[in-house]
């Protein structure tokens, strides 16, 4: 019998994962996080977000070596010049990324070795809403379809359980399905 | 009197904008859009989304010269290696980008020349939810605060009206505040 436990699974350090869970159970105040983004308009549909600092575990996190820079835009048909994906596409990306990371972490915790996780997302939108032409249709997606393809060393039933559990735990899935209260303040110069 | 109308305002071609609105009024079927994203897990919290094709105005749009590639990750405290912003931060980016583009387009349509649009977003999260430690807290942000700083050639009251109208029309603001039905399908290999 081997006494060496595998700690890295699916690229996730499960020893650190369990350590984090134990620390949060011992002191739930460590679970208070705040994430941030700063955006600046450049021209037309082109704007840019920088992301770096956040608050976690009772302090400002300073671990990131540099800021992330993310550009948004619109395609020609929506009056842009493709300076980046559009905001609605970024929402699909946020949803895909969160479901995938949740799935990978859940699989790691349950001893499932994954070999492949791919997803395609589609969001249907009647742009009459966002363009102010109709109050009968909503501004955003009417619905979003996510299709996962998952492979690993577990039976199909277990893989499906992992996806279902990831869906129950994903922060972005929960926000996109239930909505979040948003306040908007304005200062004029 | 000048007979040359300004058409480009805030980087937005207002002649094209009005032309688009007229075309959609004449044939509302042109307003049916579908946006898409494809995501692939790489390792641990690292996954990558590609975005290119979409459906618009009764056909597949082929105008984009190349695909966009967007990487997600997690910081060390959430078991990642900072391969990109995390999914919740991308949701803040999507919201900031959509409000900003809506604001810029509304201002262009109303004859307001903008000189500056900046925003900071904060999302508060108790990670006990997403980590499965508590069913008492939600998985996603409890609330999101958006602070805009807007400057332009209009009086403060007009600038505030433009922000308010942008908020009423933003697709991502509407989705994040109201939620969207999401279906998840799984195929196992």
Confidence of residue A5 (pLDDT cuts 50, 70, 90): low
> Tens-of-pLDDT digits for all 189 residues of chain B?
444 567 999 999 999 999 999 999 999 999 999 999 999 999 999 999 999 999 999 999 999 999 999 999 999 999 999 999 999 999 999 999 999 999 999 999 999 999 999 999 999 999 999 999 999 999 999 999 999 999 999 999 999 999 999 999 999 999 999 999 999 999 998
Helices and strands in chain A: count of H runs, count of E runs: 4, 10
Predicted local distance difference test score (pLDDT) of residue A6:
76
B130/A171 touch (CB, cutoff 8 Å), yes or no: yes
Integer Cα distance of B103 and A45 in angstroms = 10
- The alpha-helical segments, DSSP class H, found in chain A are 14-26, 87-109, 156-169, 171-178
Give A182 or B189, the one with higher predicted confidence. A182
Predicted local distance difference test score (pLDDT) of residue B189:
81
Segment A117-126 shows an average pLDDT of 98
Question: ipTM of this predicted complex?
Answer: 0.97
Taking the CA of residue A145 and the nearest CA in chain B, the distance in Å comes to 5
Predicted local distance difference test score (pLDDT) of residue A3:
42
Which DSSP letter does residue A112 get?
Answer: P
| Beta carbons of B162 and B101 less than 8 angstroms apart | no
3-state SS class at B96:
helix
Mark which residues 27-46 of B lie under 8 Å from A by CB.
28, 31-41, 43-46
Provide the mean pLDDT of chain A. Answer: 96
* Helix or strand run (H / E) with residue B171: helix B171-178
Which DSSP letter does residue A135 get?
Answer: S
B36/A122 touch (CB, cutoff 8 Å), yes or no: yes
Report CA dihedral (B87, B91, B97, B102) to the nearest 10 degrees: 160
Please name which of A119, A79, A130, A6 lies closest in space to residue B108, comparing C-alpha atoms.
Answer: A79
Residues of chain B in contact with residue A132, where contact means CB-CB under 8 angstroms, are: 169
Long-range contacts at A14-23 (CB < 8 A, ≥ 24 apart):
A14/A108, A14/A109, A16/B79, A17/A105, A17/A108, A17/A109, A17/B79, A20/B77, A20/B79, A20/B131, A21/B131, A21/B133
Which of B69, B130, B176, B185 is most worth mutating to test chain A (most A CB atoms within 10 A of its CB)?
B130
Integer Cα distance of B176 and B95 in angstroms = 8
Predicted local distance difference test score (pLDDT) of residue B177:
98
Spacing of C-alpha A95 from chain mean position: 5
Structure-token pair, residue A154 = 């577990």
Residues of chain B in contact with residue A92, where contact means CB-CB under 8 angstroms, are: 35-37, 49, 51
B104-139 per-residue burial string, b: 16 or more CB within 10 A, e: under 16: bbbbbbeebebeebbbbbbbebbbbbbbbbbeebbb
Q: Quote the crossing angle between the two packed helices A171-178 and B171-178, to the nearest 10°.
A: 100
* Helix or strand run (H / E) with residue B21: helix B14-26
Structure-token pair, residue A88 = 């609605």
Integer Cα distance of A173 and A96 in angstroms = 9
With 0-12 CB in 10 A as exposed, 13-18 as middle and 19+ as buried, what is A36? middle
Segment A29-40 shows an average pLDDT of 98
Sign of CA pseudo-dihedral B138, A71, B120, B148? negative
What are the C-alpha distances in Å from A141 to residues A49, A60, A164?
Answer: 23, 35, 23
B143/A173 touch (CB, cutoff 8 Å), yes or no: no
Q: From the CB of residue B1, how many other CB atoms can be counted at a distance below 10 Å?
A: 2
A175/B176 touch (CB, cutoff 8 Å), yes or no: yes
Judged by a CB distance cut-off of 8 A, whether residue A132 touches chain B is yes
Radius of gyration of chain B from Cα atoms?
20
Taking the CA of residue A2 and the nearest CA in chain B, the distance in Å comes to 25
Predicted local distance difference test score (pLDDT) of residue B5:
65
Taking the CA of residue A114 and the nearest CA in chain B, the distance in Å comes to 10
Structure-token pair, residue A105 = 């972490």
Integer Cα distance of A127 and B34 in angstroms = 10
Judged by a CB distance cut-off of 8 A, whether residue A18 touches chain B is no
Please name which of A13, A6, A116, A137 lies closest in space to residue B186, comparing C-alpha atoms.
Answer: A116
Integer Cα distance of A89 and A100 in angstroms = 16
For a pLDDT cut of 70, what percent of chain A falls above it? 97
B187/A150 touch (CB, cutoff 8 Å), yes or no: yes
Which DSSP letter does residue B29 get?
Answer: G
3-state SS class at A84:
coil
Q: What's the pTM?
A: 0.97
Predicted local distance difference test score (pLDDT) of residue B3:
42
């Amino acid at each position: 019998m081997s006494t060496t436990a595998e700690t890295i699974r699916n690229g996730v350090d499960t020893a650190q994962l369990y350590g984090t869970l134990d620390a949060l159970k011992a002191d739930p105040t460590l679970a208070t996080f705040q994430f941030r983004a700063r955006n600046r308009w450049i021209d037309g549909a082109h704007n840019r977000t920088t992301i770096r600092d956040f608050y976690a575990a009772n302090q400002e996190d300073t671990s990131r070596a540099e800021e992330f820079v993310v550009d948004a835009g619109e395609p020609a048909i929506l009056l842009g010049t493709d300076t980046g994906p559009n905001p609605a596409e970024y929402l699909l990306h946020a949803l895909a990324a969160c479901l995938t990371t949740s799935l990978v972490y859940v699989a790691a915790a349950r001893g499932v070795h994954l070999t492949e996780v791919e997803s395609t997302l589609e969001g249907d939108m009647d742009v009459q809403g966002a363009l102010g032409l109709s109050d009968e249709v909503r501004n955003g997606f009417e619905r979003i379809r996510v299709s996962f393809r998952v492979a690993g060393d577990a039976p199909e039933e277990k893989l499906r359980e992992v996806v279902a559990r990831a869906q129950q735990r994903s922060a972005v899935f929960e926000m996109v399905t239930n909505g979040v209260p948003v306040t908007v303040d304005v200062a004029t110069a």
